[in-house]
Amino acid sequence: MISKDINLAIKILEQDGIIGLPTETVYGLAARMTSELGIKKIFELKNRPLTNPLIVHLAKAEDLLLVAENIPPMALTLAESFWPGPLTLIFKKAKTISPLITANQETVAVRMPNHPMALKLINQLGEPIVAPSANPYMAISSTTADHVENYFGNKLPLVLDGGPCKKGIESTIIGFEENYIVLYRHGSITKEMIEAKTNCKVFFHEKFQNKVQTPGMHFKHYAPKTPLILTDNIIESFEIYKEKKVGLLTFKSPILDHRNQYMLSTEGSLEVAASNLYSQLIAIDKKGYDFILVEKLPEEGIGISINDRLKRASNKL
């Protein structure tokens, strides 16, 4: 059921249930941080392996002390600058945090979502929640309440409707080492924004040997059922494939096929493109194309994060 009833959502969470929750990035599937039963329901509903840890969501920065230890001063600077917002930080976990949340690792991932409904819900509930993205394992994340409802139907008692997600891609994830920061997942908060606030170098984890495991960063992820081809040159690729039934997803390129072309941002804004990405992919996936031809975005700022999602969506298992 889709509803705006926060009190009902709280009642469900208090009884160890789970709900669909709007955030500024994507919708989450939420349980109380201390509800083992609720957390297990999340993994079951998503069909997600228990080896893939969940992000804790707070409504007040002080609650960080409930979940994490050894918080570096740099992390507080970043929390002050970007929370509430799409930045997830990885810390040593507090002893009380359930190993179900952290997949038995010694670290915990934490963020404060920037959505009034999510903040109100967590505040009123009086304890943090855990929430992965509200999609079956490896499928495209949800950016509207309808997406969540379409994925899970009556297996989920309630989806709180907070409108379409403004950011549209999952949060940036970083962790702290002695003298540098490791970027585990690209998002709307870019490497440059983090370096500017901390004066500390940020390295992307695939280029850097590191002990933290981020199992959710599977090389295939965020994928539609229709095969997806990512191209640098949409005009040339369209020439090659145009005898086939192709759906085109472009940034702001000229119209090649007005009946089968979807644009991420006619005015060429990367922010707008990010916020449209998943709803367009979900819509195109329903059209029965042989494949989806997607134009790579400029490799700058959030364009890097969008291209990262598109690369994973185009990988074969």
Scanning residues 42 to 61, which ones bind ligand TXA (CB under 6 A)? 52-55
Nearest to 129 by CA among 12, 25, 218: 12
- Residue from 10, 87, 122, 131 in contact with ligand TXA (CB under 6 A): 131
By beta-carbon proximity to Mg ion, the closer residue of 256 and 309 is 309
Instruction: Decide: is 94 part of the binding site for ligand TXA (CB under 6 A).
Output: no
Looking up tokens 């002390």 gives 65
Locate 106 and state its tokens: 């010694």
Looking up tokens 């494949």 gives 291
Scanning residues 223 to 262, which ones bind ligand TXA (CB under 6 A)? none
By beta-carbon proximity to ligand TXA, the closer residue of 173 and 263 is 173
Instruction: Decide: is 276 part of the binding site for ligand TXA (CB under 6 A).
Output: no
Number of helices (H) and strands (E), helices first, in the chain? Answer: 11, 16
Partner whose footprint covers residue 202, from ligand TXA, Mg ion, none (CB < 5 to 8 Å by kind)? none
Locate 286 and state its tokens: 């329903």
Per-residue binding string, ligand TXA, 134-173, x by CB under 6 A, is ------------------------------------xx-x
By beta-carbon proximity to ligand TXA, the closer residue of 25 and 261 is 25
By beta-carbon proximity to ligand TXA, the closer residue of 214 and 261 is 214
Residue 42's CB is within 10 A of a number of other CB atoms, namely 22
What H or E segment, with its residue span, contains residue 44?
helix 36-46
18 Cβ contact partners less than 8 Å away, ≥ 6 residues apart: 12, 29, 30, 31, 38, 41, 42, 45, 156, 157
Q: For residue 58, with 0-12 CB atoms within 10 Å meaning exposed, 13-18 middle and 19 or more buried, which class applies?
A: buried
Residue nearest to Mg ion (CB): 133
- Cβ 90 to Mg ion, closest distance in Å? 16
Instruction: List contacts with ligand TXA (CB under 6 A).
Output: 23, 25-26, 28, 52-55, 86, 88, 90, 102, 105, 107-109, 113, 131-133, 170-171, 173, 184, 212, 214-217
